[in-house]
C-alpha cells in the first residue's frame, strides 16, 4: 500500500517537475519504501525569537494550498475520484512541491508529520522557510533530508527547532537531487490555521553559508570584520555566534550599499532574548558582558546577492584620560614647546591651533575608536571653540581649529625687549560629555606684544 502511495507521489513529481525520476522499467512492486525517520530535536535547544523580531515573510494571499481539495486541477484529476489522496504524513506519501512556490498545509493530529518532496537539477543553496502558526501551545519543527536513491534512505538531516510562534528556517548547500521536507508537530497542533512554507534555490551565495539559523551560526570571538557576506534571497539570514571573552565594548558598524534594499542587524543574548537592532548604515557603541551572543543579519526589504554588506565589531575602550603630546605654536619664541610666561609651562597659540594627543583608558591602555571632543574657552564673550574627532586604533587624536577670535590680553609678561599680552584659557577633552583628566588643562592665548626696547 505504501509502495502504491509512493508511486503516486512519484507520478505527481513527474507531472510537476517535468523530469523523469527513474527508469521506466521500475515497477511499483520493485520500489522500496523509504524507512520512516524519527523526528526529534533532542540535540537542539528550543530557542524562541522575541515577538517583535519575528517577522512573517509569507502572505496568505500568495499561497497555493497543499490540501488535496485545493490542489491545482491537473493534480486533482490524477488523484480523484478513484484514488483518494493519502495523508502526507510519512515520506512515502510526501506531496511533490516545487521551489519558489508558497504552500499551506495543516496538521490535525497530535505528533503529526507532513512530508513534501522536491527535486533540484543544479547544485546550489537551498533554503526552506516555515511560517508557523501563531499559537503559543503549538510547536512545529522543520526537517530536511536528501534521498539516497541507491538505498532509498533519507540522509543529511538539517533541523530547525525554535520554540512556539517562531518561524523555522533551514539552509543547505545541496547537490542536485531529490529532497524531502518534514514538518513535525513537536508540541500540540492546530487543525484550523495552516502553516505556510516555501523552498528557495540560490545559485550564488556567500562562503559563510549555510548559516541561516541559530544552530548553524558561525562561531566568532570578540572583534570581527565581515566584508564578503551577502543576502542571497529574501529569506536569507546570516547568523554569528559571538563569544566575548571579557567585559568589552564594541563599536559596531553596519553598512549596506545595495540599492533598493534594507537590511538589519539583530543582537541576542545566548537565550535569544533581544538586545536590540541596528539599522543599516549606522555606527553604534555596545557594551557586552563576558558571554555568548547571537548576531543575525537579515533583509527587511529585497536583497542583492552580488553586493556584500559590511559588519564590523571593533573593540572599544572608553577613555578616562588624555596626554597632550604636541600643540602647534606661534613661532616667535620657543616654537614647538611649552613656554612659561610666569603662570607655568603652557602651549601658546594665536588664531589657529592643532592639538595632538593620546587617549587612554583607566588602566593606561590606548582608548581606541573613541569619539572625543577637544574644547577651549576664550576670554572675549566666553566664546568656546571645539572640535570632534575619533581616536585611532592606537588611541591617537589630532584636531585643528582655525579662525580663533583675538585674545583680550588679560595678562602680560616682559620678554627680552617686548611686553607680551595674553589670556590663559582653559583646555578640556571630553568623552561622552565627561571631562577627561589631562596633562595640559590650559593654554596661553597670545594677544599682541609692545616693544619696550629693554
Ligand atoms: Ca548570506
Ligand atoms: Ca545565510
Encode pLDDT of 417-444 as tens digits. 999 999 999 999 999 999 999 999 999 9
Ligand 1 centre to CA of 391 (Å) is 32
Measured distance CA(357)–CA(368) in Å, rounded: 12
Residues of the chain with CATH 2.60.120.380: 2-202
Average pLDDT, the chain: 86
Look up the pTM and report it. Answer: 0.70
Is residue 252 within a helix (H) or strand (E), and if so which, with residue range?
strand 248-255
- In angstroms, rounded to a whole number, what is the distance separating the alpha carbons of residues 390 and 428? 16
Q: Which CATH class is domain 214-316?
A: mainly beta
Ligand 1 centroid, distance to 235 Cα (angstroms)? 10
Grouping H, G, I as helix, E, B as strand and the rest as coil, residue 410 is coil
Q: How far is the CA of 376 from the centre of ligand 2 (A)?
A: 50
Read off the pLDDT of each residue in 3-29 and give the average, rounded to a whole number: 34
pLDDT bucket at 130, cuts 50 / 70 / 90: very high
> CATH 2.60.40.10: which residues of the chain?
321-451
**Bridge partner list, 244:** 291
Ligand closest to 205 (CA) is: 1
Answer yes or no: are the C-beta atoms of 63 and 92 closer than 8 Å: no
Q: E-strand spans in 3-70? A: 64-65
Expressed in angstroms and rounded, the spacing between residue 163 Cα and the centre of ligand 2 is 20
- Quote the CA–CA distance of 10 and 2 in Å, as a whole number: 12
Superfamily of domain 321-451: Immunoglobulins (2.60.40.10)
Distance 210 CA to ligand 1 centre (A): 8
Tell me what pLDDT residue 116 has.
96
Taking the centre of ligand 2 as the mean of its atom positions, its distance from the CA of residue 202, in whole angstroms, is 11
State in Å: Cα 228 to ligand 1 middle.
Answer: 9
Half-sphere exposure of 89 (CA within 13 A, CB side): 10
Cα–Cα distances (Å) from 411 to 12, 256, 382, 422, in that order, read 97, 55, 16, 5
Q: Which ligand is nearest to the CA of 237?
A: 2
pLDDT attached to residue 331: 67
Instruction: Pick 363 or 448 by higher pLDDT.
Output: 448
Cα–Cα distance for residue pair 26/28, rounded to 1 Å: 7
The separation between CA 248 and the C-alpha centre of its own chain, rounded to angstroms, equals: 19
- State the pLDDT confidence band at 45, using cuts at 50, 70 and 90: low
Phi, psi of 301 (to 5 degrees): -160, 120
Q: What percent of the chain has pLDDT over 90?
A: 71
User: Which positions ≥6 away from 294 have C-beta within 8 Å?
Assistant: 214, 217, 239, 240, 241, 242, 267, 268, 269, 270, 272
Cα(311) to ligand 2 centroid in Å equals 14
pLDDT tens for each residue of 258-314? 999 999 999 999 999 999 999 999 988 889 999 999 999 999 999 999 999 999 998
C-alpha cell at 60: 496568505
Question: How many other C-beta atoms can be found within 10 angstroms of the C-beta atom of residue 114?
Answer: 25
User: What dihedral do alpha carbons 67, 70, 75, 81 form, nearest 10°?
Assistant: 90
Q: Report which of 371, 331, 328, 324 is spatially closest to residue 352, judged by C-alpha positions.
A: 328
Rounded Cα distance between 49 and 17, Å, is 35
Cβ atoms < 10 Å from Cβ of 207: 7
Joined grid coordinates for residue 244:
566575548
* CATH classification (class only), 2-202: mainly beta
How remote is the CA of residue 204 from the centroid of ligand 1, in Å? 10
CA of 180 to the centre of ligand 2 (A): 20
- Beta bridge partners, 202, equal 125
How far, in Å, CA of 387 to CA of 374, rounded? 5
Least distant ligand from the CA of 296: 2
The C-alpha atoms of residue 351 and residue 193 are separated, in whole angstroms, by 74
- Report the separation in Å between the CA atom of 114 and the middle of ligand 1, taken as the mean of its atom positions: 28
Q: What pLDDT is recorded for position 79?
A: 38
Residues 395/372, Cβ–Cβ less than 8 Å: no
Nearest to 180 by CA among 159, 165, 166, 162: 159
**How do strand 348-349 and strand 396-402 relate by DSSP bridges?**
unpaired
What digits encode the pLDDT tens for the residues 66-90?
A: 654 333 434 333 433 444 568 999 9
Residue ranges, comma separated, of all CATH 2.60.120.1050 domains in the chain are 214-316
Query: Does residue 120 register a pLDDT over 80?
Result: yes
pLDDT-based confidence at 53, cuts 50/70/90?
confident
Q: Which ligand is nearest to the CA of 240?
A: 2
3-state DSSP assignment of residue 409: coil
Helices (H) and strands (E) in the chain, counts: 2, 32
Predicted pLDDT at 409: 97
- What is the 82 CA–ligand 2 centroid distance (Å)? 44
Amino acid at each position: 500500500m505504501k509502495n502504491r502511495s509512493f508511486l503516486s507521489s512519484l507520478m505527481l513529481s513527474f507531472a510537476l517537475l517535468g523530469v523523469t525520476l527513474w527508469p521506466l522499467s521500475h515497477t511499483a512492486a520493485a520500489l522500496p519504501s523509504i524507512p520512516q525517520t524519527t523526528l526529534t530535536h533532542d540535540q537542539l535547544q528550543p530557542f524562541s525569537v522575541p515577538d517583535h523580531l519575528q517577522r512573517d515573510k509569507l502572505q496568505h494571499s500568495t499561497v497555493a494550498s497543499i490540501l488535496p481539495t485545493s490542489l491545482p486541477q491537473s493534480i486533482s484529476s490524477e488523484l480523484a475520484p478513484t484514488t483518494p489522496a493519502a495523508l502526507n504524513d510519512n515520506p512515502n506519501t510526501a506531496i511533490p512541491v516545487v521551489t519558489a512556490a508558497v504552500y499551506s498545509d495543516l496538521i490535525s493530529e497530535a505528533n503529526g508529520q507532513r512530508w513534501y518532496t522536491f527535486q533540484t537539477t543544479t547544485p546550489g543553496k537551498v533554503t526552506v522557510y516555515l511560517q508557523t502558526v501563531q499559537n503559543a501551545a503549538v510547536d512545529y519543527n522543520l526537517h530536511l533530508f536528501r534521498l539516497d536513491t541507491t538505498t532509498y534512505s533519507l540522509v543529511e538531516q538539517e533541523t530547525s527547532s525554535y520554540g512556539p510562534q517562531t518561524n523555522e528556517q533551514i539552509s543547505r548547500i545541496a547537490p542536485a537531487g531529490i529532497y524531502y521536507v518534514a514538518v513535525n508537530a513537536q508540541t500540540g497542533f492546530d487543525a484550523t490555521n495552516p502553516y505556510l512554507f516555501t523552498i528557495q534555490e540560490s545559485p550564488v551565495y556567500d562562503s559563510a553559508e549555510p548559516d541561516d539559523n541559530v544552530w548553524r551560526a558561525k562561531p566568532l570571538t570578540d572583534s570581527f570584520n565581515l566584508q564578503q557576506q551577502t543576502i542571497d534571497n529574501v529569506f536569507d539570514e546570516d547568523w554569528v555566534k559571538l563569544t566575548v571573552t571579557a567585559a568589552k565594548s564594541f563599536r559596531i558598524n553596519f553598512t549596506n550599499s545595495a540599492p533598493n534594499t534594507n537590511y538589519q542587524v539583530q543582537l541576542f543574548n545566548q537565550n535569544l532574548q533581544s538586545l536590540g537592532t541596528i539599522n543599516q548604515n549606522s555606527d553604534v557603541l555596545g557594551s557586552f558582558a563576558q558571554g555568548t551572543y547571537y548576531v543575525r543579519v537579515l533583509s527587511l526589504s529585497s536583497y542583492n546577492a552580488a553586493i556584500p554588506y559590511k559588519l564590523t565589531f571593533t573593540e572599544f575602550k572608553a577613555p578616562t584620560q588624555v596626554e597632550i603630546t604636541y600643540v602647534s605654536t606661534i613661532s616667535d619664541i620657543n616654537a614647538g614647546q611649552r613656554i612659561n610666561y610666569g603662570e607655568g609651562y603652557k602651549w601658546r597659540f594665536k588664531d589657529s591651533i592643532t592639538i595632538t594627543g593620546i587617549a587612554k583608558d583607566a588602566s593606561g591602555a590606548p582608548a581606541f575608536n573613541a569619539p572625543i571632543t577637544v574644547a577651549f574657552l576664550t576670554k572675549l564673550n566666553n566664546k568656546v571653540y571645539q572640535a570632534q574627532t575619533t581616536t585611532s586604533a592606537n588611541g591617537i587624536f589630532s584636531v585643528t581649529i582655525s579662525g580663533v577670535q583675538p585674545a583680550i590680553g588679560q595678562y602680560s609678561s616682559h620678554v627680552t625687549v617686548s611686553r607680551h599680552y595674553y589670556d590663559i584659557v582653559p583646555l578640556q577633552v571630553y568623552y561622552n560629555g565627561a571631562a577627561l583628566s589631562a596633562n595640559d588643562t590650559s593654554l596661553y592665548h597670545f594677544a599682541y606684544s609692545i616693544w619696550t626696547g629693554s
